[in-house]
Structure 1
Amino acid sequence: MSDSVTSPQPLTGDVVLPCLNEAEALPWVLARIPDGWRALVVDNGSTDGSADVARAHGTRVVHEPRRGFGAACHAGLEAAEADLVAFCDCDASLDPGALPGVAARVLDGTADLVLARRRPTSWGSWPLHARAGNRALAGMVRRRTGLRLRDLGPLRVARRSRLLELGITDRRSGYPLEMVVRAADAGWRIHETEVAYRPRTGESKVTGTWRGTWHAVQDMRAVLR
């Protein structure tokens, strides 16, 4: 079920924001959505009023009752209407204002999928265990696909119809990795750019602890298998 809000300007793309208890961060994130882009908050069972905060900012809300990062991402992809779709964390660690730069190579036809490598603005932006887990996964992806990625960046852009054609099945933490692997197998041109990575607002649900990172890595290893 979704609450629809009409975009007042020509639409470049939809920004899918998977959301679980991000009421504190949402105002900053939504205020930085660039012109031509429309935010689509996918509420994944929040209990802190995140959906109400999003609606108060004039943002479309999609409700996904199945818990899981991938479930929220895919619900947003299916609900999106624009030709171009971006995915972005909504914990204020990533600035949606960077989207035009990230999307440029998809828009000009020189890339099919662009991933934004995270460049930490401070040591606390990206904990050691999260960096280690990401490095291990990047190595697995290189061995599996030949892609020399330095990050499996959560801020990424591609065309909606082509993403749906990939047939991504993971509905947990492995969703971003499966997208990259399936895209590589399909012969997509995958490009990596760079964005600033800030300390998140609120508590991390995935990589904020060693245990959360371990579970995420296990989900992604399952995808590679």
Structure 2
Amino acid sequence: MTAVDVVLPCLDEAEALPWVLSRMPDGYRPLVIDNGSADGSAGIAREHGALVVAEPRRGFGAACHTGLMTAETEIVCFMDADASLDPRELPRLVEIVEAGGGLVLGRRRPTARGAWPPHARLGNAVLARSLNRRAGTALRDLGPMRAARRDDLVALDIADRRFGYPLEMVMRAARSGLPVAEIEVGYRPRVGRSKVTGTARGTLRAVRDMRRVLAEVTP
């Protein structure tokens, strides 16, 4: 059985964590990177068997990178901690990495109304098109569920510590010659209040960060 560390950036996800952590496949160790939660998320994560690491610097990318540097397994996965993604899909991505794939993303397929608000889907589509033009990729989604070899990701030297981190990961992977692929995964309505895609303001903030990365990192 392949041992895999799963990075879960977390900011106030107390409602969602029990479901997420209870569905973690055997051999997959959840690393909950607590980014300043005030709702008891860290304690709940520990109660459900996760390794909890505090990252006091606010920022999605800061939490992701701390998780990457904490991970110890050859293959590392990333996914949101809000119950919008099912951890039981992770082995499908890992199998592709094991077979020689580089960076594998989960392309989101909404499973219910409201799972992916129109403003968030539009912002994602615009960014994916811009990324494909610049990086030579053929992605339809900047999927938040991901898998890759840890050493490959560390070598990318990703600099962004905000919402541009996922896009920079793909940009730098493409520039380095690492294969980038995607497979379809289910996407559920998140549990609790969204800090990003649930609001137009949050989506615009994420798009702004990602556009900055597109301008700064050119394959």
TM-score of the superposed pair, with normalisation by structure 1: 0.94
Specify which of 197, 210, 216 is matched with residue 220 of structure 1.
210
Greater mean deviation of Cα atoms: 69-78 or 138-147: 138-147
Identity %: 64
Please report the RMSD computed on the Cα atoms of aligned residues, expressed in angstroms: 0.8
> What is the Cα deviation at residue 137 of structure 1?
0.3
The aligned amino acid for 2:9 is P
In the aligned structure 2, how far is the partner of 1:11 from the partner of 1:141?
32
Q: How does 1:98-117 map to 2 (within 5 A)?
A: 98-109=89-100, 111-117=101-107
> What is the Cα deviation at residue 123 of structure 1?
2.4
In the aligned structure 1, how far is the partner of 2:99 from the partner of 2:139?
21
Matched, 1:167 2:157: yes
Matched, 1:139 2:120: no
The aligned amino acid for 2:179 is R
Runs of 4+ in 1 over 2 A off after TM superposition: none
SS in 2 for 1:67: coil
Specify which of 59, 65, 79 is matched with residue 70 of structure 2.
79
Specify which of 166, 171, 176 is matched with residue 186 of structure 1.
176
In the aligned structure 2, how far is the partner of 1:36 from the partner of 1:62?
19
Matched, 1:30 2:18: no
In the aligned structure 2, how far is the partner of 1:162 from the partner of 1:75?
16
In the aligned structure 2, how far is the partner of 1:162 from the partner of 1:148?
20
In the aligned structure 1, how far is the partner of 2:133 from the partner of 2:89?
30
In the aligned structure 2, how far is the partner of 1:54 from the partner of 1:142?
36
The aligned amino acid for 1:29 is V
Matched, 1:155 2:145: yes
In the aligned structure 1, how far is the partner of 2:210 from the partner of 2:73?
28
Give the corresponding residue for 1:50. 41
Specify which of 103, 108, 115 is matched with residue 118 of structure 1.
108
In the aligned structure 2, how far is the partner of 1:36 from the partner of 1:153?
23
Report if aligned partners of 1:17, 1:42 keep a CA contact under 8 Å in 2.
Answer: yes
In the aligned structure 2, how far is the partner of 1:76 from the partner of 1:159?
14
Give the corresponding residue for 2:8. 17
Deviations 1:147-204 (A, max 9, x none): 1100000000001111000000000000000000000000111111010000000011
TM-score of the superposed pair, with normalisation by structure 2: 0.97
> What is the Cα deviation at residue 23 of structure 1?
0.5
The aligned amino acid for 1:58 is G
Report if aligned partners of 1:17, 1:88 keep a CA contact under 8 Å in 2.
Answer: yes
Matched, 1:61 2:46: no
The aligned amino acid for 2:45 is A
Give the corresponding residue for 1:211. 201
In the aligned structure 2, how far is the partner of 1:140 from the partner of 1:146?
10
Report if aligned partners of 1:11, 1:38 keep a CA contact under 8 Å in 2.
Answer: no
The aligned amino acid for 1:127 is P
Q: Which ranges of structure 2 fall in alignment gaps of 5 or more residues?
A: none
In the aligned structure 2, how far is the partner of 1:32 from the partner of 1:105?
21
Greater mean deviation of Cα atoms: 11-20 or 168-177: 11-20
Q: Which ranges of structure 1 fall in alignment gaps of 5 or more residues?
A: 1-9
